[in-house]
């Protein structure tokens, strides 16, 4: 009986070790720290809007997380470097922003693996998370992201800034929904982002007035 228990114990321990071995996924924060919100910017970098956002973040001494598209990182490596050198977190948002759930295996591997190589080539560090475009994922997509050494990350609270509803509407919507540990999704790339840039100072000040601070995720 004792031998059986010992064998069972050994089996359990080796099973746990195996499970740990197969997982090279970094153990990083996916939500903001208690008492803070995480500002996240998707679809960049962009030489105009990303730099304007960086200047605002610098003024308020706030760190944010940038989920960038690999193709844009390749186009604007200097902006990638600036983001990193100013202490923000750089994460992945795929190579060309497709719906990852609609790709074949070769396409999916390309979309997941390539941005990491590009970002590593620019800042000497691979991203630890990939936020799947359009919030679209399934278990296979998330597994491929994990196999590539990243944690899959969902959208975060949608500011709808990409709909460009007017600066004040973006401010009101975000502030109404800003609470401890909230991850807020905004956009610095791909399209016109004047409203996002214009809304950002009031969003930061409004969050501070709520007594909340700021933290990054995926760092
Ligand atoms: Zn996106």
What CATH number is associated with residue 75?
Answer: 3.20.20.370
Q: Whole domain around residue 53: which residue ranges?
A: 30-214
Ligand 1 center from residue 10 Cα (angstroms) = 46
Ligand 1 center from residue 16 Cα (angstroms) = 36
Residues 6+ positions from 169 with CB-CB distance below 8 Å: none
What is the pLDDT, as a whole number, of residue 26?
81
> Does 210 map to a domain?
yes
What is the pLDDT, as a whole number, of residue 190?
87
What SS3 class is residue 130? strand
What is the pLDDT, as a whole number, of residue 23?
55
Number of domains the chain is built from: 1
What is the pLDDT, as a whole number, of residue 21?
40
Ligand 1 center from residue 157 Cα (angstroms) = 13
> Does 42 map to a domain?
yes
Query: Tokens 């990054």 correspond to what residue?
Result: 216
Q: Which of 43, 161, 187, 188 is catalytic?
A: 187
> Does 14 map to a domain?
no
Q: Which of 42, 43, 161, 188 is catalytic?
A: 42
Active site residue 161: no
Residue 57: closest CA among 196, 180, 176: 196
Active site residue 78: no
Q: What is the pTM of this model?
A: 0.89
Ligand 1 center from residue 191 Cα (angstroms) = 11
> Does 193 map to a domain?
yes
- Read off the tokens for 60: 């308020």
Residues 6+ positions from 116 with CB-CB distance below 8 Å: 92, 126, 127, 148, 149, 150
Per-residue pLDDT of the chain (219 residues; tens, 9 = 90+): 456 555 555 454 444 444 444 457 888 999 999 999 999 999 999 999 999 999 999 999 999 999 999 999 999 999 999 999 999 999 999 999 999 999 999 999 999 999 999 999 999 999 999 999 999 999 999 999 999 999 999 999 999 999 999 999 999 999 999 999 999 999 999 889 999 999 999 999 999 999 999 999 999
- CA–CA gap between residue 153 and residue 217 (Å, rounded): 10
Termini Cα distance of the chain: 48
> Does 163 map to a domain?
yes
> Does 21 map to a domain?
no
What is the pLDDT, as a whole number, of residue 15?
45
Question: What residues pack around ion ligand 1 (CB closer than 5 A)?
Answer: 42-43, 133
- Read off the tokens for 47: 């030489």
Ligand 1 center from residue 210 Cα (angstroms) = 28
> Does 130 map to a domain?
yes
Ligand 1 center from residue 38 Cα (angstroms) = 17
> Does 19 map to a domain?
no
């Amino acid at each position: 009986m004792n031998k059986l228990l010992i064998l069972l114990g050994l089996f359990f321990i080796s099973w746990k070790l195996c499970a740990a071995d197969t997982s090279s996924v970094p153990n990083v924060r996916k939500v903001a720290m208690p008492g803070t919100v995480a500002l996240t910017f998707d679809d960049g970098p962009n030489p105009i809007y990303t730099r304007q956002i960086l200047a605002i973040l610098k003024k308020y001494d706030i760190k944010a997380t940038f989920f960038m598209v690999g193709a844009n990182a390749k186009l604007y490596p200097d902006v990638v470097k600036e983001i990193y050198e100013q202490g923000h977190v750089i994460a992945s948002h795929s190579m060309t922003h497709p719906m990852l759930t609609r790709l074949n295996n070769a396409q999916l591997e390309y979309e997941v693996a390539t941005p990491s190589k590009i970002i590593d080539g620019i800042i000497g560090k691979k991203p630890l998370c990939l936020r799947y475009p359009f919030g679209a994922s399934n278990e296979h997509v998330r597994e491929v992201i994990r196999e590539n050494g990243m944690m899959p990350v969902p959208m975060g609270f949608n500011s709808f800034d990409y709909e460009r509803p007017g600066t004040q509407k973006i401010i009101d919507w975000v502030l109404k929904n800003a609470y401890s540990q909230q991850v807020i999704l905004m956009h610095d790339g791909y399209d016109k982002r004047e409203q996002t840039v214009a809304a950002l100072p009031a969003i930061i000040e409004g969050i501070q007035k709520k007594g909340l601070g700021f933290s990054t995720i995926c760092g």
